[in-house]
Structure 1
Amino acid sequence: MGDKATAVFDIGKTNKKFFLFDEDYQEIYREYTKFDLIADEDGHPTEDLRALTNWMKTVFNRILKTKKHTIKAINFSTYGASFVHLDDYGNVLTPLYNYTKPLDQNLIKGFYEKYGPKEEFAKTTGSSDDGMLNSGLQLYWLKHYKPEVFKKIKYSLHLPQYLSYIFTGIPLSEYTSIGCHTALWDYGKKDYHNWVYQEQLHKILPPIVSTETSVNMNYNGKRIKLGVGIHDSSAALLPYVRSIKQKFILVSTGTWSIALNPFSEKALTDDDIQKDCINYMRINGKPVKASRIFLGNEYGIQVKKLTQHFKVPEDYHKKVKFNFDIFFAIIKDFEHCFRWESITVDNMPKTTRYSYDKFEHAYHQLMIELVLLQVEHIKIATAGDTIEKLYIDGGFSDNDVYIKLVSHYLRNMELRTTDSSLGSALGAAIAISDSKLNSKFLRKNYSLKKHVPFILK
């Protein structure tokens, strides 16, 4: 019969991953693939949905035949802001439009004239004005710019739910996909926003179920529990919510650095909206306050420039450790030196100036300035609550300078880092599991480490 296992398809924009987890959530198998992008009818690059679905079916059918493992359940984690539109026969009607595809500004302007004002709309829906990244506006665009296609839509499925539909044939919606900056949800009303009903879009959105819902079915002669899918950011948060009893902030670092507060009870304020704060959604429909900054992207830009300026190897920055003497020398007469290219702040200089003759000094200056921005966004996510626990995962979790500085500037919080490249995949497995997580889960599965602020001289 083989070991009992849960299968997860974890679909990112670049890497498509398949995992098997045992009953203790230990990874026992993985495989990755990538697909070349194709173009939609306007020439904009987009996901090759046909290649993706064929690969998923092939992988799953092969795994089911193996005698090494007995697959008991399967779930799906994917990026958000993406819809698959189906006709009456379950056929896919359009390309999987990329959320980077630009929308006509006249369409957006007309939308807010009808359903705005923009700031109030953003507070209500927890979604800043982000064009196609507000996937609800994709439906609005289809209705008004491609009416012949729109008339044929029987169901519009968020991408995680479409991947589930491939295997179940049951069209469903769930909270985490609805709640990720789609502009569809009214967080105060806990229902679709009025504009969704006025545009009659609710008729093509399938019934909403809990993210923990699963469908028990006979698949190719095997009795399997199939999950309904989950948005990847909400999936990555789930192991923390399930295993930590006290309030906490999770900072998920990478190209974007997103500070997540799953305990915020307050609606977004005008100030939050000005600072690009949005809401995600937990699996039970509760909001997650999210303050995001393009930190990893900016870090990559500036480190490349520093590397060229100081003529050091490309990966030299990875070897730099926190140095107390350099830090204290910089903050003694601190001035901002870097002009950002992908972040806009008031206090940045007109041009970047290097005041040092060593890479290590300039690197510490860069990290201090970036971490000060990071700390500001963590405080925004905290929303005035007393939250003493802070978790950091992702790319910066093993950057010694970043961690030492965050620990220093947020000395009132207990900082812990976690190391798991499986975050969203594990979350998807946990979402359809009946087992409880205890306080040792993160230590066992995520290499949990505690960090103590350095002693001030």
Structure 2
Amino acid sequence: MKKVTAVFDIGKTNKKFFLFDKNFNEVYTEYTSFKEIEDEDGHPTENLGELRTWVKEVFDKFLKSDTYDVKAINFSTYGASFVHIDEQGNPLTPLYNYTKPLDGKVVDAFFEKYGPREEFLKNTGCTELSMLNSGLQLFWLKYEKPEVFKKIKYSLHLPQYLSFLFTGIPVSEYTSIGCHTALWDYSKKDYHSWVYSEGIDKILPSIVSTETSINMNYDGHRVKAGVGIHDSSAALLPYVRSINKKFVLVSTGTWSIVFNPYFETSIEEQSYDKDTLNYMRINGRPVRATRLFLGNEYKVQVAYLSKHFGVDDDYHMKVKFDYDTYYEIVEDFKHCFKWESIEGENMPEQTYMPYTEFEHAYHQLMVELVLIQIKCIKDALGGNNFARIYVDGGFSNNDIYIKLLCHYFRDKKLSTTDASLGSALGAAISISDNKLNSKFLKKNYALKKHVPFIVKA
């Protein structure tokens, strides 16, 4: 029987189960998804009961397998989500969706007690994101649903709740606490004073290292169970563990998030920016992160260009970088696009399209988006001058995006990776004793190095 580590990787849409061998090779994958249900206010939310049943059934099935010997299990999930349990370990509320808006009166009341607003957000590494600041959910429950709040024995972040289902041991860990929850004071390296003032600390279990594992006897099997990890921090971990030089990671998709795991400027010295967040590494050290709604804006603008030029919706995927087209654009550069979901300097009041060919307009779009991406990367660097940039996610396969980034960061080494297993693999690594070496990314992540294009005289 092949010895494996099992990982549940729970996204908002897709729920995935992986088995990894001792060398972190994927040997089995299973996917599912559930229809959302509604909370008491009619807002869509995770079907926690169905998720709980699926997780148990899948794990039980593989414990009885004749092919695999499951030696360990861990959990990676999206963040900013709490499961509030009673004395018996039963959930007291729906798993409130982080997209659920908080009543403005509750938010105002919070900042009236614990403001100034901007200073608070800076110290907690947050932007004001309503329920996405999941700590405010606890404040909301205390004052808006006091009868429920009184019954809470523990409030568990979602990764730790899944671990609790197997171990029965409630814990907290750094990566979940540190993902824009408004719970953690990065200047004090402790829960923010408001957590203690409101007595919230009494329902938050003891903090343990993300690398903690619990040896359990599960249905007659000895299994090592991890305590769970926030998915963004999990996706960053394989890079941190295998690269011995400082770097930033540009993780692209609907959001483009730039992670700087080596940021050394204290919170007090930083200026507040609504698109700059802090996360935490598994050891509690801060990760500076900047965000850009890149994939969303790209989708909006490509749909506009496809309609404007009368081409197929997927035509943009065939367009490759052309130096002469790029040179024509930058020789007498003007901003042409009015953004729908991001902010940019020198943005016109409405989109102006001086081109007769889709390819030229598409190059213009990519130049303008990359210029904003560059600012995002520089903000994440925060004055640090690291020599390495890694890009993963959807835009790592966009020829124009990569060539432009490479060109504008000619002084740095830029590489792309295929991190489709990202957060799941990070969860497996976090509870493993195996050391990663510099060849790990090349073997497991299809590491590809890029060089700047030659500028013609």
Q: TM-score when scaled to structure 2?
A: 0.99
Query: What amino acid is aligned across from residue 420 of structure 1 in structure 2?
Result: A
Separation in 1, partners of 2:104, 2:422:
36
Residue 293 of structure 2 is aligned to residue 294 of structure 1: yes
- 1:112 match: secondary structure: helix
| Alpha-carbon distance in 2 for matches of 1:32, 1:269 | 44
Secondary structure, aligned partner of 2:119:
helix
Q: Give the whole-Å Cα distance in 2 for the aligned partners of 1:233 and 1:164.
A: 18
Give the CA deviation at 1:221: 1.1
Which residue identity does 2:234 align to in structure 1?
A
The equivalent residue for 1:449 is: 448
In the other structure, the counterpart of 2:282 is: 283
In the alignment, which residue of structure 2 is the partner of 1:17? 16
Contact persistence 1:123–1:267 (CA under 8 A): no
1:164 corresponds to 2:146: no
Unaligned runs of 5+ in 2: none
CA distance in structure 1 between the aligned counterparts of 2:339 and 2:250, rounded to whole angstroms: 21
| Offset at residue 354 of structure 1 (A) | 1.2
Tell me by how many angstroms 1:345 deviates.
2.5
Q: What SS does structure 1 have at the residue aligned with 2:107?
A: helix
Deviations 1:375-395 (A, max 9, x none): 000000001012010000000
Any residues of structure 2 matched to 1:10-159 within 5 Å, and which?
Answer: 10-159=9-158
2:412 aligned partner? 413
Structure 1: runs of 5+ lacking an equivalent: none
Is the Cα–Cα contact under 8 Å of residues 119 and 270 in structure 1 kept in the other structure?
no
**C-alpha distance in 1 between matches for 2:435 and 2:255:** 31
Q: Is the 8 A contact 1:336 1:369 kept in 2?
A: yes
Provide the C-alpha distance between the structure 1 equivalents of 2:146 and 2:277, rounded to a whole number of angstroms. Answer: 30
Counterpart position of 1:357: 356
Task: Please say if residues 325 and 363 of structure 2, whose CA atoms lie closer than 8 Å, have aligned partners that are also in contact.
Answer: yes
Amino acid at match of 2:405: V
Letter in 2 for 1:73: A
Match of 2:341 in 1: 342
Secondary structure at 2:272 match in 1: helix
1:378-419, Cα deviation, whole Å (9 max, x unpaired): 000001012010000000001000000000111111000000
Q: Deviations over 1:33-78 (max 9, x none)?
A: 0100000000000000000010111111011111101001000000
Letter in 2 for 1:27: E
Change (3 A) 1:60 1:53: same
Instruction: Note if contact 1:251-1:391 (Cα within 8 Å) is conserved in structure 2.
Output: yes
For residue 166 of structure 1, what is the amino acid of its counterpart? Answer: L
Partner secondary structure for residue 273 of structure 1: coil
- Please tell me the residue identity of whatever aligns with 2:4: A
Once the two structures are superposed, what CA deviation does each residue of 1:247-284 show, in whole Å capped at 9, x if it has no partner?
A: 10000000000000000011346875235201000000
Measure, in 2, the Cα distance between the counterparts of 1:271 and 1:26.
Answer: 41
The alignment partner of 1:97 has SS state of: coil
What is the one-letter code of the residue matched to 2:375? E
Residue 89 of structure 1 aligns to which amino acid in structure 2?
A: Q
Match of 1:182 in 2: 181
Q: Deviations over 1:176-212 (max 9, x none)?
A: 0000000000111111000000000000000000000
Q: CA deviation at 1:104?
A: 0.8
* Whole-angstrom distance in 2 between the partners of 1:362 and 1:270: 41
DSSP-derived class of the 2:142 partner: helix
Change (3 A) 1:41 1:275: closer
CA distance in 1, matches of 2:408, 2:208: 41
Counterpart mapping for 1:232-381 below 5 A = 232-268=231-267, 272-381=271-380
C-alpha distance in 1 between matches for 2:76 and 2:183:
20
Q: In 1, are the aligned partners of 2:135 and 2:183 still within 8 Å (CA)?
A: yes
The residue that corresponds to 1:195 in the other structure is: 194
Aligned pair count?
456
Q: How far is the alpha carbon of 1:420 from its aligned partner?
A: 2.0
Distance 1:237 1:104 in 2: 34
Matched to 1:349, the amino acid is P
Aligned with 2:101: secondary structure?
A: coil
| SS of structure 2 residue aligned to 1:338 | coil
Q: Distance in 2 between matches of 1:418 and 1:161?
A: 29
Q: Tell me, what secondary structure is at the counterpart of 1:74?
A: strand
Contact 2:186 2:267 in 1 (8 A): no
What is the DSSP-based 3-state SS (H/G/I as helix, E as strand, rest coil) of the residue aligned with 1:283?
A: coil
1:38 touches 1:48 (CA, 8 Å); kept in 2? yes
SS in 1 for 2:352: coil
Aligned counterpart, 1:229? 228
Mapped partners of 1:82, 1:267: distance in 2: 27
**Residue 238 and residue 82 in structure 1: after superposition, are their counterparts in 2 closer, same or farther (change >3 A)?**
same
Contact 1:272/1:380 (8 A) holds in 2 = no
Q: Given residue 428 of structure 2, which amino acid in structure 1 is its aligned partner? A: A
Instruction: Give 1:122 deviation, angstroms.
Output: 1.4
| Structure-2 separation of matches of 1:148 and 1:416 | 53
Aligned residue number for residue 388 of structure 2: 389
Cα deviation, 1:269-328, whole Å, max 9, x if unaligned, reads 687523520100000000000000100010011111111111111111111110000000
Structure 1 pair 272–355 and aligned structure 2 pair: CA distance change class (3 A): farther
Query: What TM-score does the superposition give when structure 1 sets the normalisation length?
Result: 0.99
Separation of aligned partners in 1, 2:320 and 2:388: 24
Contact 2:234 2:423 survives alignment (8 Å): yes
| Cα distance in 2 between the residues matched to 1:203 and 1:276 | 31
- Is the 2:415–2:448 contact (alpha carbons within 8 Å) kept by the matching residues of 1? yes
Conservation of the 8 A alpha-carbon contact between 2:92 and 2:152: yes
1:204 corresponding residue in structure 2:
203
Contact 2:127 2:274 in 1 (8 A): no
2:156 maps to amino acid: L
CA distance in 2, matches of 1:45, 1:6: 33
Residue 421 of structure 2 is matched in structure 1 by 422
Structure 1 residue 346 displacement after superposition: 3.6
Q: Given residue 433 of structure 1, which amino acid in structure 2 is its aligned partner?
A: S
CA change 1:377–1:230 in 2 (3 A) is same
